[in-house]
Structure 1
Amino acid sequence: MKKLSELFKGLTFVSILLFSSCYPIEPEFVSDFDSVFTEISDPDFDFSNPAINTYYLADTVIVLTDPNASDTNLEVDLDLVLNRVRFNMNQAGYTEIIDNNLATQADYLVLVSVNRSDNYFSTWWGGWGGWGGWGGWGWGGCCFFPPQITTSNIRTGAIIVELLDGKSLPQRNEIIPEVWYGVGSGLFTGNNTNLTNRTLGAIDQMFLQSPYLTR
């Protein structure tokens, strides 16, 4: 398996996407802030190779959530997440190897991860009680002292899907080469159904914008 530090590289990019991408000037829904990014990790990998036609999907979603993240009752249905990845792989023309004893025979090893983060920022307003004037001209008082500081938290979430090259499986305890990954990110707010549906939509979008994965 890849080191978690490698996975967090994708999450760093998620944060950049979330706060620097072009959004509608007046977004109406939380989903307006969702984004999906996909990338080929190995530019030399031949996705068109017809011999690549099987995959093994890890049966557990890796949870990368910061243990210090604030508590929330919001959850994404991880069983539905795995089933949606399975559906898209099957739709793309691959055959799933279900027996974990045969996992090393799969062309692709598929890993799914989720993450939730707290993003705190502070704003302040107010200031000094007034100015004394200059050259005989005076200004009236402005604002007040001390300034008022407000701290807010934006919760974000991410879903990561990775394809690892099963045919290049190295020795035990070494990193398995990654050939493709997709990241879906957005605001972690709403209700459980809303969060799950947006996550499933992000998975669909990953495969939609990666047509080279189709057999």
Structure 2
Amino acid sequence: MPAPLSFKKMIKFTNQKHHYKVSIWISKISLWFILLLCFVIGAVMALNRLKTPKTIVSPVPEEPKITITPTPTLFPEAEAEEKARKEGKILEGEATIYTDTIEGCLGCKPHYDENGKLYFIMANGERLDVKRRTVACGVGTSCKVFPLGTTVVVQNLENGMFTTAEVTDTGGFGKLYGRILDMTPAVANRINLKGKGQVRVWPIEGDGK
């Protein structure tokens, strides 16, 4: 059986136990105080945020975009057509293709070079070159409006295609058949004319070669 504690030891043990309990309570109170302090600080900050007016930044309006619309311009051929229409210098009628062969240039006077090669001389004194965009006006029809040296626009009325050419020759087909033009294959290919067809012709300033 253990010996009973003395009175002094009992008092010492009691004091130690009391101090331990006091320390626990002090720790709890400190912890609650810290939590309460944090809560108060958070509440104060929240109130300050509510009281502080918010700055509303208005969006900067975009500068209006300026669209520059180019002034529509006519093609030179179209401008020339308007001018020719006012002056009454537009002709419409049948046109055919003529070439540097006997069959392709009926009524043309044949010439032969030193090698015996056939060629034809046009009304302007130059040799006929089917690779150039040239036309022959019809005597009695288009020659009155488009004399030698005139640059003209030739338009295929079937498909609307057009090109420029120079009047370098004349032909009696105007009086005989009422045609207004004979053209080289170079002109016919540009407007996709096969054999013969209806064309519109008007003068234009410039070089049709």
TM-score after normalising by structure 2: 0.20
Question: Which has the larger strand fraction?
Answer: 1
Structure with higher Rg: it is 2
- What is the TM-score normalised by the length of structure 1? 0.20
Relative to total residues, which structure has the larger helix share, 1 or 2? 2
